[in-house]
Protein backbone atom coordinates (compact mmCIF):
# COMPACT_ATOMS: atom_id res chain seq x y z
CA UNK A 1 0.00 0.00 0.00
CA UNK A 2 1.44 3.34 -1.08
CA UNK A 3 2.05 5.89 1.59
CA UNK A 4 4.45 7.36 4.10
CA UNK A 5 6.38 5.33 6.63
CA UNK A 6 7.84 6.88 9.76
CA UNK A 7 10.22 5.24 12.21
CA UNK A 8 10.42 4.79 15.08
CA UNK A 9 6.79 4.84 16.23
CA UNK A 10 7.86 6.11 19.62
CA UNK A 11 11.09 6.80 21.46
CA UNK A 12 12.26 7.90 24.88
CA UNK A 13 15.52 9.76 24.68
CA UNK A 14 17.92 11.27 27.20
CA UNK A 15 18.55 14.99 26.86
CA UNK A 16 21.72 15.78 24.95
CA UNK A 17 21.51 12.69 22.74
CA UNK A 18 21.39 12.82 18.96
CA UNK A 19 18.33 11.33 17.26
CA UNK A 20 17.23 10.85 13.67
CA UNK A 21 13.58 10.34 12.77
CA UNK A 22 13.12 8.51 9.51
CA UNK A 23 10.52 9.22 6.84
CA UNK A 24 10.07 7.39 3.54
CA UNK A 25 7.36 7.81 0.92
CA UNK A 26 6.64 5.71 -2.14
CA UNK A 27 4.20 8.01 -3.90
CA UNK A 28 6.94 9.86 -5.85
CA UNK A 29 5.79 13.12 -4.29
CA UNK A 30 8.09 16.07 -4.86
CA UNK A 31 7.36 17.98 -1.66
CA UNK A 32 7.93 16.69 1.87
CA UNK A 33 7.42 18.26 5.29
CA UNK A 34 8.18 17.75 8.95
CA UNK A 35 5.72 19.00 11.58
CA UNK A 36 5.51 18.82 15.31
CA UNK A 37 2.15 18.65 17.08
CA UNK A 38 1.79 19.75 20.69
CA UNK A 39 -1.35 19.75 22.80
CA UNK A 40 -3.40 22.90 22.29
CA UNK A 41 -1.31 24.07 19.37
CA UNK A 42 -1.71 23.59 15.65
CA UNK A 43 0.73 21.61 13.59
CA UNK A 44 3.92 23.63 13.28
CA UNK A 45 6.22 23.28 10.31
CA UNK A 46 9.83 22.48 11.20
CA UNK A 47 11.45 22.03 7.79
CA UNK A 48 10.29 21.31 4.29
CA UNK A 49 11.65 20.23 0.93
CA UNK A 50 10.03 21.24 -2.36
CA UNK A 51 12.08 18.76 -4.36
CA UNK A 52 15.03 16.39 -3.94
CA UNK A 53 18.23 18.29 -3.21
CA UNK A 54 16.53 21.34 -1.66
CA UNK A 55 15.33 22.11 1.85
CA UNK A 56 13.86 25.10 3.64
CA UNK A 57 13.15 26.29 7.16
CA UNK A 58 9.66 26.37 8.55
CA UNK A 59 8.18 28.10 11.56
CA UNK A 60 10.21 26.26 14.26
CA UNK A 61 13.51 25.04 12.73
CA UNK A 62 15.90 25.63 15.66
CA UNK A 63 17.50 22.47 17.00
CA UNK A 64 16.51 20.42 13.94
CA UNK A 65 18.13 19.63 10.61
CA UNK A 66 16.98 17.75 7.51
CA UNK A 67 18.39 16.39 4.29
CA UNK A 68 16.78 15.33 1.00
CA UNK A 69 19.24 13.21 -0.90
CA UNK A 70 16.53 11.57 -3.00
CA UNK A 71 12.80 11.80 -3.68
CA UNK A 72 11.71 9.14 -1.21
CA UNK A 73 13.58 9.91 2.03
CA UNK A 74 13.44 12.93 4.30
CA UNK A 75 15.10 12.29 7.68
CA UNK A 76 14.84 14.75 10.57
CA UNK A 77 17.76 15.01 13.00
CA UNK A 78 17.84 16.42 16.50
CA UNK A 79 21.52 17.18 17.07
CA UNK A 80 21.28 17.46 20.85
CA UNK A 81 17.80 16.76 22.19
CA UNK A 82 16.20 19.02 24.81
CA UNK A 83 13.02 18.40 26.85
CA UNK A 84 11.12 21.10 24.91
CA UNK A 85 11.43 18.88 21.84
CA UNK A 86 9.12 16.35 23.44
CA UNK A 87 6.29 16.15 20.93
CA UNK A 88 4.58 14.09 18.26
CA UNK A 89 6.37 14.45 14.94
CA UNK A 90 4.58 14.01 11.64
CA UNK A 91 6.14 13.66 8.23
CA UNK A 92 3.98 14.58 5.24
CA UNK A 93 4.26 14.74 1.48
CA UNK A 94 2.38 16.28 -1.42
CA UNK A 95 2.62 16.03 -5.19
CA UNK A 96 3.82 19.62 -5.42
CA UNK A 97 4.40 22.41 -2.92
CA UNK A 98 1.15 24.05 -3.94
CA UNK A 99 -2.52 23.41 -3.43
CA UNK A 100 -2.21 19.65 -3.44
CA UNK A 101 -3.34 17.97 -0.19
CA UNK A 102 -0.64 16.68 2.11
CA UNK A 103 -0.52 13.01 3.07
CA UNK A 104 0.74 12.21 6.54
CA UNK A 105 2.70 9.40 8.12
CA UNK A 106 1.50 7.83 11.37
CA UNK A 107 3.80 9.99 13.48
CA UNK A 108 6.65 9.49 15.93
CA UNK A 109 5.96 10.10 19.61
CA UNK A 110 9.20 11.43 21.09
CA UNK A 111 9.86 12.00 24.79
CA UNK A 112 13.03 13.76 25.91
CA UNK A 113 13.95 13.24 29.55
Partner 1 sequence: GQNIDQPTEMTATEGAIVQINCTYQTSGFNGLFWYQQHAGEAPTFLSYNVLDGLEEKGRFSSFLSRSKGYSYLLLKELQMKDSASYLCAVLDSNYQLIWGAGTKLIIKP
- Contacts with partner 1, residue ranges (CB under 8 A): 40-45, 48, 58, 90, 97-99, 101-107
Contact predicate 87/107, CB 8 Å: no
Give me the least distance between CB of 18 and partner 1, in Å please.
26
Nearer to partner 1, 2 or 41 (CB): 41
Distance from the first to the final alpha carbon of the chain: 35
Whichever of 22 and 103 has its CB closer to partner 1, that residue is: 103
Nearer to partner 1 by Cβ, of 40 and 62: the residue is 40
Q: Closest approach of Cβ 37 to partner 1, in Å? A: 9
- Alpha-carbon distance of 11 to 14, in angstroms, equals 10
Question: Among residues 71 and 108, whose Cβ is nearest to partner 1?
Answer: 108
State in angstroms the smallest separation of the CB of 80 from partner 1.
27
Residue pair 64/51 in contact by the 8 Å Cβ criterion: no
To the nearest whole angstrom, how small is the minimum distance from the Cβ of residue 94 to partner 1?
Answer: 9
Classify burial at 101, counting beta carbons within 10 Å of its beta carbon; exposed 0-12, middle 13-18, buried 19 or more. Answer: exposed
Q: 61 has which bridge partners?
A: none
Amino acid sequence: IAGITQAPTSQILAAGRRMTLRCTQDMRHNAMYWYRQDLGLGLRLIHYSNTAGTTGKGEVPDGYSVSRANTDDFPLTLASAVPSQTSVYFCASSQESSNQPQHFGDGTRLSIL
